[in-house]
Amino acid sequence: MRSTPDVTAPDLSAGLTLLHSPGPRSGAFYRLVGDALADARGRVEWVDARNAASTYALRAVAPSRALDGVRVARAFTAYQHHELVRRVVRRVSPRTDLVVAPNVASLYTDDDVPGHEADRLLSSTLATLAELAAARSLPVLVTAGASGDDATATVAAHADAEIECAGTPLGVAFEADGYRPRGYWREGYWQTTLPYWVDLLGVAPGSVGRPRPEPDLEPRPERDPGSRAATEG
Amino acid sequence: MGFKIEFEGGTARVWRATDDGATAETRDYDPSLYVGGHVAALRDLRTALRDDPKVAGTGFERWHHRLRSRDPVETLRIDLERVGEVRTLAREILGLHGDSHPPGTFRLFNVDFSPGFRYCVETRTDPTPARPLSTLRIDLGLADRSDGDVSALALDGDPAAPGTDAERAALRALAERLHADDPDVLVLSSGRLVPLLFERADTLGLDGFRLGRRPGWTKLAGANTVESYGRIGHSPARYDVPGRVIVDRSNSFLWDVAGLPGLVDLVERSRKPLQEAGWASIGNVLTAVQIREALARDVLVPREKRHPEGFKDIDTLQAADRGGFTFDPDVGLHEDVVEVDFASLYPSIMCEYNVSPDTVCCDCHADRADVPGLGYSVCDRRGFLADVLEPIVADRAAFKRRRLKWILVSCFGYQGYRNSKFGRIECHEAINAFAREILLDARDTLEAGGWRVLHGIVDSLWVTPRESDPTPIPDLTDRVTADAGIRLEHEADFEWICFVPTGDGRDGALTEYFGKVDGRDAFKLRGIEARQRSTPAFVADVQRDLLRALDRHRAPEPVCDRLQRAIGRLERGNVDPADLVIRKRVSKPPAAYTCRTRTVAALERLAARGIDRYPGQDVRYVVADDECDSADRVRLPVESIDRYDAGFYADLLTRACESVVAPLGWDRDRVRRYLRDTDDVGLSAFE
């Protein structure tokens, strides 16, 4: 039996995934990214905005081996951001496992870009990322990072998948289609949920397909060797 | 040689200073902006602009689009009929014409130049005045100005019409003075005097009143709120009169630090005409100097910076993100301390080590690791920043002028600033990396010479002898200078110096210290209350008095005795309220304040007198009753001040005292306990 849960955030599949994170440098984002980096075997291209690529935060969530393949470039204006995204297209190779672009819409809402130009640049940036993800079958993870709903909606319109996350009293909870949280990440420890124990130990007969479970402070997992074998298979 | 440039329709009027005044010459002038992009799109654009009435002509020219570019690129030049329409056309090119192309197709150059500067760089006109310019200072108090009453007008510091309170007399005196002296520069207490003076002259029926060398005035720009380096500032409206330069003292940082000769020097370096230099920020002047250098290298100035930093691995990112080096200060009082400083460290690095946006991480020496800790290459070709800065660094070494120092300091900051036209992150990082290395090497040399480093920050080190007979400082500074290629100067000797702990008492504050200069009756202060602009004069004076007590006794108790005495004066009402005035910068519009702060109370009192203050401007007040949350909490200096809140000011004094005794291990509680327990003020309080 595994002693600690090793998966709590949803796996990223190919395509443009928008994580609705509560802030520009939220714990949920780093949690998700940390897991994705740990899984990545090849290169990770990171187009940064608003200083999300803080080396301090990254080292806290990912082992240093997982950071070896990460390459970061930071944009400080929308124009630079757009230019970096175009460069990423040229940098991506078969060895690339993941592209990360936190706060992808954020710089486009700054005062120094005229609104009309900002809208066109942002749409072009997002279309480029979505096409890159599709053409290379590559996961591309973004957060919107914009204060306005309009910019977030523009990002969502280009996204293939969305992950909601919310701070709960038990930690950060992720929600996505086809994903049920198995744990809540908290400062320094794991708060498990029923699906985690179900995954680990099996499902009680009759419990499959019930709605999204509430987190359980004191899990009392059912032990059913038969379905355990089935879920691990 | 035109010291003042004005624009009317499609012409420029250039004023030259002559031996007996000034003459104007009117010339046709078609300003130009440039567009880059692929040639087919540029040809489409050229065709589309053929019937645009704003456009006087177009043509293709070859220019560099970046400092680092090797070969010039075909670029569309667009000449305009009027200088005021450059930005309008730029917007149209991106919006109207750009919509039929992918975004980012057109890249605009030479868009955001101020009009006079644009004229000078495009027509190679030197705006440096041909002779020393004459000035007339015109002042009117804030209250009179808001009342629209010009009777108290002052000319060069004297009442315009003494003995009368008639506005008409004041305006006549002004008109006579202008006629008699024919000044080139009008130095106004506020630019808003221009419309006010004309309006009063009109109302009072003074025919033919003028401030310029020809009739009339114009408003060049409205007031607005600006943000620079995260700080909010207020930029008042700008006014213009023909043939004379207007300097608005309420909006001229450079006039304050440099005066007229300093401004003229900056005009010569930047090619910004005097009036534009007057309202420019240091960063703005620096940008102008850089633009001149770029254009001289056939490099156009991009409207916005597109070029991003390169991709880096996490280790490099972490190494590059470190700022200037600091040694944790050794908190406490130290005797026999020497301060050594590198002269203009960061600009000197840019010159001596050729660090520049066009040299760092060059492709031609990609295999070299020239920058310590980062492994970036630095090209052998002479860099852009070296050309920009060398004349200033050389001059500063001779004169140590404040205004030049500001430019040099800004130049480093601008390398990391997001909107800097020629900034580049890697350049900023490389400068920091060299600076760290140089400071660490200097520390090693000083320690090997028998000195102990007490504190170090950015470009300065404080050392004290570690052994009885250390190598003399001049020998060591010479050695460091030779090694670094940048001069290490013996800045000051201190009889003693105190490094102040941070608020929580755990570490040393990096920029808070004070010391007694050796052999002179002088203290050097940094960061503590007496140096802060908001501190009332009384509190600053008392803190200096506490420093003298510390100097005599080197112990906290006598310092607290002096504090006790000062609090006694406060409580007895023996302090002049004028010495209790606090100055605070307004950070947001009055409606945006959600707490009832003292600033809000002061703004309310000002508003009641019809005076508006904008974000970025100062308010000045005396705290009358800090417990009160209405406008009665404060009084304004213009009011007759009937009372002050002694308890509030006693608290300020206690904090000021804490800064002085904290290096000796006393915190605020300890100070308060001592005050409480000491009924009899010790003898030292009466020295």
For residue range B301-360, list pLDDT tens digits in order.
999 888 888 999 999 988 887 777 778 899 999 999 999 999 888 888 999 999 999 999
* B92: closest CA of chain A, how far (Å): 11
pLDDT above 50 for A228: no
pLDDT band at A171 (very low <50, low <70, confident <90, very high): low
DSSP-assigned beta bridge partners for residue A44: A70, A98
Residue B306 is nearest to which of A59, A68, A79, comparing CB atoms? A79
* B104: closest CA of chain A, how far (Å): 7
B103 and A68 within 8 Å at the Cβ level: the answer is: no
Nearest in space to B342 (alpha carbons), one of B456, B471, B510, B508 = B456
Residues ≥6 apart with Cβ < 8 Å to B370: B376, B377, B378
Q: For residues B610-631, give the mean pLDDT.
A: 88
- For residue A45, list chain B residues with Cβ-Cβ distance below 8 A: 311
Residues ≥6 apart with Cβ < 8 Å to A181: A8, A173, A174, A175, A193, A195, A215
pLDDT band at A220 (very low <50, low <70, confident <90, very high): very low
The residue of chain B nearest to residue A54, with distances taken between CA atoms, is B318
Residue B305 is nearest to which of A71, A72, A80, comparing CB atoms? A80
Cα separation, B136 vs B160, whole angstroms = 12
* A81: closest CA of chain B, how far (Å): 7
pLDDT above 80 for A2: no
Query: Taking the CA of residue A212 as centre, how many other CA atoms within 13 Å lie in the half-sphere pointing to its CB?
Result: 11
- For residue B314, list chain A residues with Cβ-Cβ distance below 8 A: 55, 58-59, 67-68, 70, 72
Please report the pLDDT score of residue B307 as a whole number.
84
Are the C-beta atoms of residues B473 and B518 closer than 8 Å to each other?
no
A116 and B94 within 8 Å at the Cβ level: the answer is: yes
Q: For residues B598-618, give the mean pLDDT.
A: 87
Are the C-beta atoms of residues B25 and B151 closer than 8 Å to each other?
no
Please report the pLDDT score of residue B37 as a whole number.
93
A84 and B308 within 8 Å at the Cβ level: the answer is: yes
Q: Which two tokens stand for residue B2?
A: 């035109």
Using a 10 angstrom Cβ sphere, with 0-12 exposed, 13-18 middle and 19 or more buried, the burial of residue B29 is: buried
Nearest in space to B389 (alpha carbons), one of B432, B431, B331, B441 = B431
* A62: closest CA of chain B, how far (Å): 12
B304 and A79 within 8 Å at the Cβ level: the answer is: yes
- pLDDT tens-place string over residues B436-491: 999 999 999 999 999 999 999 888 999 999 999 999 999 999 999 999 999 999 99
pLDDT above 50 for B36: yes
Go through the domains of chain B in sequence order and give each one's CATH number.
4-123 (3.30.342.10), 135-296 (3.30.420), 319-383+423-517 (3.90.1600.10), 533-686 (1.10.132.60)
- For residue B321, list chain A residues with Cβ-Cβ distance below 8 A: 55
Please report the pLDDT score of residue B108 as a whole number.
95
Please report the pLDDT score of residue B304 as a whole number.
84
Q: For residues B408-424, give the mean pLDDT.
A: 69
pLDDT top residue among A125 and B591:
A125
Please report the pLDDT score of residue A192 as a whole number.
46
Residue A55 is nearest to which of B98, B305, B321, comparing CB atoms? B321
Mutate to test the interface with B, among A46, A47, A79 (most CBs of B within 10 A): A79
pLDDT top residue among B458 and B558:
B558
Q: Which residues in B have their CB inside 8 Å of a CB on A?
A: 91, 94-95, 98-99, 102-104, 304-314, 317-318, 321, 418-419, 425
pLDDT band at B612 (very low <50, low <70, confident <90, very high): confident
Inter-chain Cβ pairs, chain A and chain B, closer than 8 A = 79
Cα separation, B432 vs B439, whole angstroms = 11
Q: Which two tokens stand for residue B237?
A: 């409206």
pLDDT band at B395 (very low <50, low <70, confident <90, very high): confident
- For residue B95, list chain A residues with Cβ-Cβ distance below 8 A: 114, 116-117
Residue A83 is nearest to which of B98, B306, B318, comparing CB atoms? B306
Q: What are the structural domain ranges in chain A?
A: 15-170+172-176, 193-232
pLDDT above 80 for A208: no
Please report the pLDDT score of residue A227 as a whole number.
37
Q: For residues B504-527, give the mean pLDDT.
A: 89
Interface of A with B in 121-150 (CB under 8 A): 121, 123-124
pLDDT band at A1 (very low <50, low <70, confident <90, very high): very low
pLDDT above 60 for B683: no
* B315: closest CA of chain A, how far (Å): 8
The highest-confidence range among A32-41, B173-182, B246-255, by mean pLDDT, is B173-182
Nearest in space to B427 (alpha carbons), one of B359, B495, B334 = B359
DSSP B681: P
pLDDT band at B629 (very low <50, low <70, confident <90, very high): confident
Please report the pLDDT score of residue A113 as a whole number.
84
* A131: closest CA of chain B, how far (Å): 16
Task: Print the SS3 string covering B151-182.
Answer: CCCEECCEECCCCCCCHHHHHHHHHHHHHHHC
Please report the pLDDT score of residue B479 as a whole number.
97
pLDDT band at B650 (very low <50, low <70, confident <90, very high): very high
The residue of chain B nearest to residue A120, with distances taken between CA atoms, is B103
Cα Rg, chain A, nearest whole Å: 19
What is the average pLDDT score of chain B?
Answer: 89
pLDDT top residue among B225 and A232:
B225
The DSSP bridge pattern shows strands B55-63 and B73-80 to be: antiparallel
pLDDT band at B271 (very low <50, low <70, confident <90, very high): very high
pLDDT above 60 for A179: no
What percent of chain A is modeled with pLDDT above 90? 36
Quick one: A15-170+172-176 is in which CATH superfamily? P-loop containing nucleotide triphosphate hydrolases (3.40.50.300)
Mutate to test the interface with B, among A37, A50, A72 (most CBs of B within 10 A): A72
Is ipTM beyond 0.85?
Answer: no
Q: For residues B269-294, give the mean pLDDT.
A: 90
Mutate to test the interface with A, among B306, B314, B414, B421 (most CBs of A within 10 A): B314
A73 and B419 within 8 Å at the Cβ level: the answer is: no
Please report the pLDDT score of residue A189 as a whole number.
42
Residue A73 is nearest to which of B98, B312, B314, comparing CB atoms? B312
Cα separation, B399 vs B659, whole angstroms = 34
Q: For residues B129-145, give the mean pLDDT.
A: 92
Please report the pLDDT score of residue A186 as a whole number.
40
